[in-house]
Structure 1
Amino acid sequence: MAMDMDAIVKQMLQLTTQLEQTVSNSDSEPDEWLLLLDERQKLMKQLDEGILTGEVLSDGQKMLLVQIDGINQRIQPVMLERKQGVEKKLKEIQHSKTAVDAYHEAGPSAYGAFFDSKK
Protein backbone atom coordinates (compact mmCIF):
# COMPACT_ATOMS: atom_id res chain seq x y z
CA MET A 1 0.00 0.00 0.00
CA ALA A 2 3.01 2.32 0.45
CA MET A 3 3.34 2.50 -3.33
CA ASP A 4 -0.32 3.49 -3.56
CA MET A 5 0.16 6.26 -1.00
CA ASP A 6 3.15 7.52 -2.98
CA ALA A 7 1.11 7.54 -6.19
CA ILE A 8 -1.78 9.32 -4.46
CA VAL A 9 0.46 12.09 -3.09
CA LYS A 10 2.21 12.56 -6.45
CA GLN A 11 -1.11 12.73 -8.27
CA MET A 12 -2.38 15.26 -5.72
CA LEU A 13 0.67 17.42 -6.39
CA GLN A 14 0.11 17.17 -10.13
CA LEU A 15 -3.58 18.14 -9.80
CA THR A 16 -2.74 20.99 -7.42
CA THR A 17 -0.13 22.35 -9.86
CA GLN A 18 -2.67 22.06 -12.68
CA LEU A 19 -5.23 23.88 -10.52
CA GLU A 20 -2.74 26.67 -9.84
CA GLN A 21 -2.11 27.11 -13.56
CA THR A 22 -5.84 27.11 -14.29
CA VAL A 23 -6.65 29.62 -11.54
CA SER A 24 -3.77 31.86 -12.64
CA ASN A 25 -5.26 32.04 -16.13
CA SER A 26 -7.65 35.01 -16.03
CA ASP A 27 -9.79 33.45 -18.80
CA SER A 28 -10.40 30.24 -16.88
CA GLU A 29 -13.88 29.30 -15.78
CA PRO A 30 -14.66 28.30 -12.19
CA ASP A 31 -16.26 25.13 -13.57
CA GLU A 32 -12.78 24.00 -14.63
CA TRP A 33 -11.61 24.60 -11.08
CA LEU A 34 -14.42 22.50 -9.68
CA LEU A 35 -13.45 19.50 -11.78
CA LEU A 36 -9.88 19.65 -10.51
CA LEU A 37 -11.00 20.26 -6.93
CA ASP A 38 -13.35 17.26 -7.08
CA GLU A 39 -10.58 14.99 -8.35
CA ARG A 40 -8.25 16.26 -5.67
CA GLN A 41 -10.90 15.72 -3.00
CA LYS A 42 -11.22 12.07 -4.06
CA LEU A 43 -7.47 11.65 -3.66
CA MET A 44 -7.56 13.29 -0.23
CA LYS A 45 -10.26 10.85 0.82
CA GLN A 46 -8.10 7.92 -0.34
CA LEU A 47 -5.15 9.38 1.55
CA ASP A 48 -7.25 9.72 4.71
CA GLU A 49 -8.46 6.14 4.38
CA GLY A 50 -4.88 4.92 4.02
CA ILE A 51 -3.80 6.79 7.12
CA LEU A 52 -6.77 5.44 9.07
CA THR A 53 -5.82 1.89 8.12
CA GLY A 54 -2.35 2.40 9.56
CA GLU A 55 -0.30 3.60 6.62
CA VAL A 56 2.53 5.91 7.57
CA LEU A 57 3.65 8.71 5.31
CA SER A 58 7.33 8.82 4.43
CA ASP A 59 9.36 11.99 4.78
CA GLY A 60 9.28 12.44 1.01
CA GLN A 61 5.51 12.19 0.95
CA LYS A 62 5.26 14.68 3.80
CA MET A 63 7.47 17.10 1.87
CA LEU A 64 5.18 16.80 -1.16
CA LEU A 65 2.18 17.51 1.06
CA VAL A 66 3.92 20.61 2.41
CA GLN A 67 4.51 21.70 -1.19
CA ILE A 68 0.81 21.12 -1.96
CA ASP A 69 -0.15 23.22 1.04
CA GLY A 70 2.10 26.04 -0.15
CA ILE A 71 0.40 26.03 -3.55
CA ASN A 72 -2.99 26.06 -1.82
CA GLN A 73 -1.98 29.10 0.22
CA ARG A 74 -1.06 30.93 -3.00
CA ILE A 75 -4.21 30.13 -4.97
CA GLN A 76 -6.84 30.59 -2.26
CA PRO A 77 -6.65 34.42 -2.29
CA VAL A 78 -6.88 34.43 -6.09
CA MET A 79 -9.93 32.18 -6.02
CA LEU A 80 -11.53 34.31 -3.31
CA GLU A 81 -10.91 37.47 -5.33
CA ARG A 82 -12.50 35.95 -8.42
CA LYS A 83 -15.46 34.74 -6.34
CA GLN A 84 -16.00 38.24 -4.93
CA GLY A 85 -15.85 39.68 -8.45
CA VAL A 86 -18.54 37.30 -9.63
CA GLU A 87 -20.69 38.10 -6.57
CA LYS A 88 -20.33 41.82 -7.29
CA LYS A 89 -21.42 41.34 -10.90
CA LEU A 90 -24.42 39.28 -9.78
CA LYS A 91 -25.47 42.03 -7.35
CA GLU A 92 -25.18 44.64 -10.10
CA ILE A 93 -27.29 42.52 -12.44
CA GLN A 94 -29.89 41.95 -9.73
CA HIS A 95 -29.98 45.68 -8.98
CA SER A 96 -30.45 46.51 -12.67
CA LYS A 97 -33.17 43.89 -12.98
CA THR A 98 -34.99 45.29 -9.95
CA ALA A 99 -34.84 48.81 -11.38
CA VAL A 100 -36.17 47.67 -14.77
CA ASP A 101 -38.95 45.66 -13.11
CA ALA A 102 -40.02 48.67 -11.02
CA TYR A 103 -40.55 50.75 -14.15
CA HIS A 104 -42.33 47.98 -16.05
CA GLU A 105 -44.91 47.66 -13.27
CA ALA A 106 -46.07 51.22 -13.99
CA GLY A 107 -47.97 49.97 -17.02
CA PRO A 108 -47.55 50.21 -20.73
CA SER A 109 -46.08 53.30 -22.27
CA ALA A 110 -47.85 55.05 -25.11
CA TYR A 111 -45.99 55.28 -28.41
CA GLY A 112 -42.61 55.01 -26.78
CA ALA A 113 -43.35 57.68 -24.19
CA PHE A 114 -42.08 56.92 -20.73
CA PHE A 115 -44.24 57.55 -17.67
CA ASP A 116 -42.25 57.79 -14.46
CA SER A 117 -44.48 56.74 -11.59
CA LYS A 118 -41.84 57.19 -8.93
CA LYS A 119 -42.29 60.99 -8.59
Structure 2
Amino acid sequence: MLGVGGARAASGAISVSTLMAFLLYLFYLIDPVSQLVEAVTQYQEGAAAISRITQAERLSTEPTEPTEPSAQPSALREQTEAATGPASVRFEDVSFRYRPDLPYVHHQVSFEREPR
Protein backbone atom coordinates (compact mmCIF):
# COMPACT_ATOMS: atom_id res chain seq x y z
CA MET A 1 0.00 0.00 0.00
CA LEU A 2 2.76 2.38 0.93
CA GLY A 3 4.66 1.69 -2.29
CA VAL A 4 1.65 2.15 -4.56
CA GLY A 5 0.49 5.21 -2.62
CA GLY A 6 3.99 6.69 -2.71
CA ALA A 7 4.18 6.19 -6.46
CA ARG A 8 0.77 7.84 -6.94
CA ALA A 9 1.77 10.74 -4.69
CA ALA A 10 5.04 11.15 -6.61
CA SER A 11 3.18 11.21 -9.92
CA GLY A 12 0.74 13.81 -8.56
CA ALA A 13 -2.35 11.59 -8.78
CA ILE A 14 -2.99 12.09 -5.04
CA SER A 15 -1.60 14.51 -2.49
CA VAL A 16 0.77 13.42 0.28
CA SER A 17 -1.83 14.42 2.89
CA THR A 18 -4.40 12.15 1.22
CA LEU A 19 -1.89 9.27 1.29
CA MET A 20 -1.15 9.90 4.99
CA ALA A 21 -4.86 10.05 5.85
CA PHE A 22 -5.48 6.80 3.97
CA LEU A 23 -2.59 5.06 5.75
CA LEU A 24 -3.78 6.28 9.18
CA TYR A 25 -7.29 4.96 8.49
CA LEU A 26 -5.74 1.71 7.34
CA PHE A 27 -3.78 1.39 10.59
CA TYR A 28 -6.96 2.12 12.58
CA LEU A 29 -8.68 -0.78 10.81
CA ILE A 30 -5.91 -3.35 11.32
CA ASP A 31 -6.70 -4.10 15.00
CA PRO A 32 -10.50 -4.56 14.62
CA VAL A 33 -10.05 -6.71 11.51
CA SER A 34 -7.46 -8.79 13.36
CA GLN A 35 -9.86 -9.25 16.29
CA LEU A 36 -12.64 -10.25 13.89
CA VAL A 37 -10.43 -12.88 12.26
CA GLU A 38 -9.46 -14.21 15.70
CA ALA A 39 -13.12 -14.39 16.76
CA VAL A 40 -14.04 -16.30 13.60
CA THR A 41 -11.16 -18.72 14.24
CA GLN A 42 -12.31 -19.30 17.83
CA TYR A 43 -15.88 -19.84 16.62
CA GLN A 44 -14.71 -22.45 14.11
CA GLU A 45 -12.68 -24.26 16.79
CA GLY A 46 -15.69 -24.24 19.12
CA ALA A 47 -18.02 -25.49 16.40
CA ALA A 48 -15.60 -28.32 15.58
CA ALA A 49 -15.38 -29.26 19.27
CA ILE A 50 -19.18 -29.33 19.57
CA SER A 51 -19.36 -31.48 16.45
CA ARG A 52 -16.88 -33.98 17.93
CA ILE A 53 -18.81 -34.08 21.22
CA THR A 54 -22.06 -34.67 19.32
CA GLN A 55 -20.43 -37.49 17.34
CA ALA A 56 -19.20 -39.08 20.56
CA GLU A 57 -22.68 -38.87 22.09
CA ARG A 58 -24.17 -40.63 19.05
CA LEU A 59 -21.83 -43.62 19.31
CA SER A 60 -23.63 -46.82 20.14
CA THR A 61 -22.95 -48.31 23.53
CA GLU A 62 -21.94 -51.87 24.16
CA PRO A 63 -24.60 -54.08 25.74
CA THR A 64 -24.07 -54.64 29.43
CA GLU A 65 -23.84 -58.05 30.99
CA PRO A 66 -26.65 -59.13 33.32
CA THR A 67 -25.79 -58.40 36.94
CA GLU A 68 -28.35 -60.61 38.64
CA PRO A 69 -26.71 -63.45 40.57
CA SER A 70 -28.90 -66.05 38.87
CA ALA A 71 -27.66 -64.93 35.43
CA GLN A 72 -23.97 -65.23 36.38
CA PRO A 73 -21.95 -68.40 35.76
CA SER A 74 -21.69 -70.58 38.87
CA ALA A 75 -17.91 -70.11 39.27
CA LEU A 76 -18.30 -66.33 39.20
CA ARG A 77 -21.24 -66.51 41.59
CA GLU A 78 -19.14 -68.54 44.06
CA GLN A 79 -16.25 -66.07 43.84
CA THR A 80 -18.60 -63.15 44.36
CA GLU A 81 -20.19 -64.73 47.39
CA ALA A 82 -16.79 -65.72 48.84
CA ALA A 83 -15.25 -62.23 48.54
CA THR A 84 -15.53 -60.45 51.88
CA GLY A 85 -12.95 -57.65 51.70
CA PRO A 86 -11.41 -55.15 49.34
CA ALA A 87 -10.63 -56.71 45.99
CA SER A 88 -7.65 -56.24 43.72
CA VAL A 89 -7.89 -55.87 39.96
CA ARG A 90 -5.46 -57.53 37.54
CA PHE A 91 -5.21 -57.15 33.77
CA GLU A 92 -3.07 -59.63 31.88
CA ASP A 93 -2.02 -59.26 28.23
CA VAL A 94 -4.68 -56.66 27.45
CA SER A 95 -4.64 -55.15 23.95
CA PHE A 96 -6.79 -52.20 22.91
CA ARG A 97 -7.52 -50.24 19.74
CA TYR A 98 -10.23 -47.72 19.01
CA ARG A 99 -11.46 -49.33 15.79
CA PRO A 100 -10.68 -52.63 14.07
CA ASP A 101 -8.90 -50.87 11.19
CA LEU A 102 -6.59 -48.85 13.48
CA PRO A 103 -3.37 -50.04 15.13
CA TYR A 104 -3.32 -51.05 18.79
CA VAL A 105 -2.70 -48.24 21.26
CA HIS A 106 -2.07 -50.75 24.07
CA HIS A 107 -0.59 -54.11 23.18
CA GLN A 108 -0.37 -56.95 25.71
CA VAL A 109 -0.39 -54.65 28.75
CA SER A 110 -0.40 -56.31 32.17
CA PHE A 111 -0.83 -54.62 35.54
CA GLU A 112 -2.41 -55.16 38.93
CA ARG A 113 -4.08 -52.69 41.28
CA GLU A 114 -4.10 -53.65 44.94
CA PRO A 115 -6.79 -52.34 47.29
CA ARG A 116 -5.93 -49.42 49.54
Scaled to the shorter chain, the TM-score interval is 0.3 to 0.5
Structure with more of its chain in strand, by fraction: 2
Which structure has the bigger radius of gyration? 2
TM-score of the two chains, using structure 2 as the length reference = 0.41
Greater RCO (CA < 8 Å, at least 6 residues apart): 1
More helix by share: 1
Q: So what's the TM-score if we normalise by structure 1?
A: 0.40
